Structure 1
């Protein structure tokens, strides 16, 4: 028992001593979990050791209990076989009140029955036992020595006069032995109870230790969970701080990139401004040279015309007089022959009938020939002619040698003026000329052509540039409008294929220009797009899927964002046509003034003047370059088409005057109300009224 208790306390001390102190935060959850599992295994091993100790104590207790049971059984047999049991019970030294423990649980049934008989006042007869048997010697008094004493003889009493001193001493000795035996039994029972209490205390101590181990394990697990939670929070905090640092680093890098980009843009802007300023100065110098040259030529021409005006007038009158006499004689001769013929027909009946038949046959032949030719040409037009969607083309309408002779080729046109009549920004004009030369060289080297997209506000010269580019590059050109495709419906696909098949017949190469391309090449996700338009778009995508060596596709639109993504993917060159600047507006004003007014002033007489009313010439007074530059500053935001309409309005205003004189006042008035009209149109467009 003591060794078991000592072992339990030692195990408890070992368990308490092996309890780890709170560990520092684990670096990661996996290490913390492995440490927790090892601690759990160690605690389970200590608990199994304590259970083995308790089991050994219980086994020892059961073995000792069996030994105590044997002692009690021997004591019970001694009491049951004693012949002096009743005397021992009457002894004052063997009272029930003086015993520590009751012997009712260890005495035999015979003793209990003997005690019960004594208490009832019954006495057994001399020389008889409880069962009625006689003693072995047959006498009534048991004696010792000379007087034999039987075991089942008459019960002796202390105050019996028959007993001698030896018997009394023997009886007292036996009573004392019985008392010692009872005390020993009580001591054994007390030891058993002490052992039971020790076992209960050990069990309770083991249970308390087990509970404390469980609580300690729970506390450690909770501490580990708390440490794991703290580690997770710390990791989250570190990750958040790292993310913030990364975000700040990215922001700093973006800011640095933006600063570098801004510096680069500023440098490029300065370079571009310097180039523009240089080009502007160069253009001003060239313009001044051209102006001086034109002024000198005009002065020389005026001087020459003044000198030869009288001679020219006299020669013209003589020529007109001769022409008049010739035509009068021809008319008289013709009418005289007609008169003679009519007289002959009216006088001769057979000639009259033959004349009427001949005229009738001639009329029938003319009518039949005209209608037959119309049907034939319509059939040829359908088979060999240009498609109906083409509004303008440089190719002959029919592949006949005569049409080629009557119409000059684009190659001869390309050797002409070029881009002199196109007013653009110098950098844009250089790029257009470069593309025209590149297109011409591409055809000569047999390389595939590059498709182009022209976008910008209306009236900025996209169509004119496409036409001049085709002429400059030596290609044929064909122009169509995207708005003509939608009314065709299901026939649009066939017409698109006809255009590309017809364009491939050109030996020089064909530049196909589609104006207002967004009308049928818009985004296919649009809900307003019909199935026919979608099919036409797919047909165009099919014909432009690969780079062609025969066709250059040029698209023009005011809204490039509405084009389908597949269309923009097929574009190789994207060129923006912005509104003209002040210098370009000045040059456009000069160009259109020369086209609409100065050329009208310099038109000479022709043969048509003989049969038409002579037009009054426009006289220009005081229209200087300074006035044109002032007007160019006023018409800021005007497109090239609006400037042309402005000059046409100036021409109409001049024709509205009786003297047909253009002066600065009239020019400024027209410019002012056109500027007001332009701003009003912009205002109405912003309000959604136009």
Structure 2
């Protein structure tokens, strides 16, 4: 509404009306007439010209017929300006809000960066503290180790000192005891010598009396014995029939005693060699008189039984099975042809089937087997040589032939050069080497060991075949598990009077799973596992 007061925006103020003169003219001397420029009050320099023009313009506007439209237009202009100002204010507010959002985002980003840096700092600090803790712990361990070594050294020194003091004390006590003993012996000797010197006449008189009495007694005994013997001898010599009968009786008595002694010894050796069992033999299939009396049915079945397959019930790897089958065939042919048997060494971990194959080999070949263990030889001491000769004498009397299986043979067939072997065991080893120096058609030697490298070199010279019995592989374990599962679980559960109801599952798959689980176990351990399954049956 600036045009209401007589001017528009962009124009200078209208000039003052010349007809109008300013009211209240000021004298030349200044306001107030006191000669200075300061007005008397705040309205003294006010120019009312503009108000007058505005009043005139308002009167003219009131008189104009477009006054209302001009006011409306002015009002609309003012509203438009206000709306523009409000729009700009809202734009300013939106810009401010956006700036605030940007500021908040930047603050959040800064806060995240700060948190990340703080996290890194905390991690670094934690790692550094952990490193320091480990270093402190290592230092403590080193210090503790040093302290322990120092304490151990001090304890050892203390023990050494105590031992030295104890030895010195013992030596001192022994020296004192020796001195006291010497003093006592000297005192006793001196006292005895003094007593003997003082009682020498009495002792000599006693000795003289005892000697005279003993001489008199002996002479009387001789006279009496001579008289009796002389009378008897004269009577005996004078009767010739008595002399003849006496001489014949003495001769017959001597002959009878000598014959009975020799006959008893020969009969004892014969019975021991043929009917008895040597003390070193733990188990044998050879029939003895005592076994025949105790178990007649068992002995009869064994006599009428037919030879079995050498690998029946024995699970081995295919290469090993082929090799031992060749050995079984060769042994059976040797038995038929009465040839010389070949000696075998079987080595490997325990429970891999060495003893079982030896029994099957003897049964397949038609021989008797005898099992002895090397651990029984050393405790016999001096009797080991005699016991070893008895074993081979007993084996040589068999008509079928004996497979002599020596388990844990390295216990007494070890190297003679070592210092650990005793003289008795060395003599027993020499006896064994003497009896096995040549191949025999009476017995076959089969040695079993877990450590064949400990054998004496002379034993290796007597071995013809070396067979390695290793732990069963995957296929062998599967066969063993199926064999023992059928023997100890399925057989007892389905056979006999009391049958058991088994759960329905894939037995083959279960056996294969068990075979994979028992990797590294021997055949004996798998057999014990089968026995444990049988114990679980109700």
User: Normalising TM by the smaller chain, what interval?
Assistant: 0.3 to 0.5
Structure of greater relative contact order (alpha carbons < 8 Å, 6+ residues apart)? 2
Larger radius of gyration: 1
| TM score, norm. by length of structure 1 | 0.37
